[in-house]
Structure 1
Amino acid sequence: MQETNPELFPAAELTVEIVPGRKLTAKAAALYAAPFDHFETRPVEELRLGFDGIEGDFHAGATRRSGGREPWYPRGTEMRNERQLSLVAADELAIVAGRMGIAEIKPEWIGANLVIEGVPCLSMLPAGSLLFFKSGVTIKVDGQNKPCRLSGRSVAENARMADREAGALLFAKVAKRLRGLVAWVEKPGIIRSGEEISVRVPEQWIYQA
């Protein structure tokens, strides 16, 4: 349900719509961590999370260096690390694999840390959504993880595609809005495989003024 409150917005600005928040239940179906020197991950039974992310992980750190996703900064600018964790859904990866004409895309090929089960259209979960794990850990969604050629190249190589570069470009195209989410640690602790999650989707504002 969407609503616009005329008492809050003048008549000329009634293009702002408000979508109420909601709660969902989910599960951490699988966990993965990356060596400190490579973005591809490997299956683990638990993730030890601090305010810097996963201990010893390739993407751990309070800050990171800017890249192609941040054209407003010179490449290599130090900035806050909002990409500590990569979240994906098995059903979305299956769609991408089908579009690429390959049998599967394993989460570890694209550096995923958590496979989330039970959230419809996971990649469309809005920024600011909170995932409360039964263990007490909380992570906060920053936004969608835009597909890139680096991940695409990993998929093409692992799937043994005949043309690796074409596969990398294809992944970047067909995985749009299906690549999952990036998130950061709001409350540290230990996540275990199979753990229950309470997802809190915030009130959303559709800003069209």
Structure 2
Amino acid sequence: MLDLDLPEKDIEILPARKLAARVAGVYIAENDDFETHACDALELDFRGILNDYHAGYTRRSGGREPWYPRGTEMRNERQITVIAPDEMAKVAALMGIAEVRPEWIGANILLDGIPHLSMLPSGTLLFFKGGVTLKVDAQNGPCRIAGRRIAERTGMPDLDAGALLFPKVARRLRGLVVWVEKPGRIEKGEDVSIRVPEQWIYGA
């Protein structure tokens, strides 16, 4: 007999909600390196931030995609990195250093006002007052490359230890990778409306 029970009876579904935030800083990597520098505004099209290191319709697969041979061309869902100041302060404390600057880890947008920013689910929409819309793909997993840059910039005596420490302590604090759903211009100080979709845990 056909089971007509609705899935909502067995799965807890959290309702959608709206949040508010502010752009505390914007950053771009205009050279052949992931490290960014602060600027007043970002210009975006469907490739991401114009002239940024991570811009592009596609990218090459790496260690994050072990299901593809390294270097496979794939959709670029990692166009832009968004982080939060409170999470960076926590990472710095766990690493025993004074600060982790957005530039050192290649961040593009510093977003203030969202508790647990890195836990926003995939599909969350970021509506910027100036007209840009960004869509969350996933959490940004911390890596040793960014960890080593932090170690270099803060003068850690053991660079290899610093490179390994960052992925260990920054898990679920590293921010989000997002892609451009609606292009335009993002300015420092801009207000952002955030729409979190319904959430559930798939446990079949």
Shorter-chain TM range is: over 0.9
Matched, 1:59 2:57: no
Matched, 1:194 2:192: no
Give SS of 1:69's match.
coil
In the alignment, which residue of structure 2 is the partner of 1:181? 176
Gaps of 5+ in 1: 1-5
TM-score normalized by structure 1?
0.94
Residues 194, 7 of structure 1: alpha-carbon distance in 2 compared, 3 angstrom cutoff: same
TM-superposition CA deviations, 1:118-172 (whole Å, max 9, x none): 1100000111000000011000000100000000001000011000000000001
In the alignment, which residue of structure 2 is the partner of 1:87? 82
Distance (Å, rounded) in 1 between the aligned partners of 2:31 and 2:120: 28
Write the letter of the residue equivalent to 1:9: P
CA RMSD of aligned residues (A): 1.2
Give SS of 1:165's match.
helix
Which of 156, 163, 180 is residue 158 of structure 2 equivalent to? 163
Give SS of 1:140's match.
strand
TM-score normalized by structure 2?
0.96
Which of 143, 148, 154 is residue 143 of structure 2 equivalent to? 148
In the alignment, which residue of structure 2 is the partner of 1:78? 73
**What is the Cα deviation at residue 35 of structure 1?**
1.6
Matched, 1:138 2:136: no
In the alignment, which residue of structure 1 is the partner of 2:30? 35
Give SS of 1:92's match.
helix
Gaps of 5+ in 2: none
Write the letter of the residue equivalent to 2:89: A
Distance (Å, rounded) in 2 between the aligned partners of 1:200 and 1:10: 22
* 1:17 and 1:207 in contact (8 A); partners too: no
TM-superposition CA deviations, 1:108-127 (whole Å, max 9, x none): 00000000001100000111
Identity, % of aligned positions: 64
Distance (Å, rounded) in 1 between the aligned partners of 2:50 and 2:202: 38
**What is the Cα deviation at residue 208 of structure 1?**
1.2
Count how many residue pairs are aligned between Structure 1 and Structure 2.
201
Give SS of 1:153's match.
helix
Q: Which runs of 4+ in 1 moved over 4 A?
A: none
Matched, 1:9 2:4: no
